[in-house]
Amino acid sequence: MGNRYFQQARSAVEEANEAIAATHTPEAQEEAKEKIKRAKQALSQAFADSSMAEREQLMALQESLYEFSEEFTNESK
């Protein structure tokens, strides 16, 4: 079955990164901000209940989210 929180975090980060890539309107930008927030929360929750191997993957997902969200933040200024 796997770690449910890990799966949720991975999905949330993927959704956030996709939303960031599609920020062509103010509404899409707001949606991306909300998905970034949800992804960060999901990552935090997943870290608490994960194995070492999952934590390594979560750190990679966190870095991916950080890179995408930094680009998004810089572009929306």
| Identity of the amino acid at 75 | E
Average pLDDT of every residue of the chain: 91
Q: Is 35 exposed, middle or buried (CB count within 10 Å of its CB: 0-12, 13-18, 19+)? A: buried
| Overall domain count for the chain | 1
Q: 55 to each of 10, 30, 68, how far by Cα in Å? A: 12, 29, 20
Whether the predicted pLDDT of 76 surpasses 80: no
pTM above 0.75, yes or no: yes
> Looking at per-residue confidence, does 10 or 2 come out higher?
10
> What pLDDT sits at residue 74?
76
Gap between the Cα atoms of 11 and 62, Å rounded: 12
Domain that holds residue 9: 4-75
Mean pLDDT of 43-69: 93
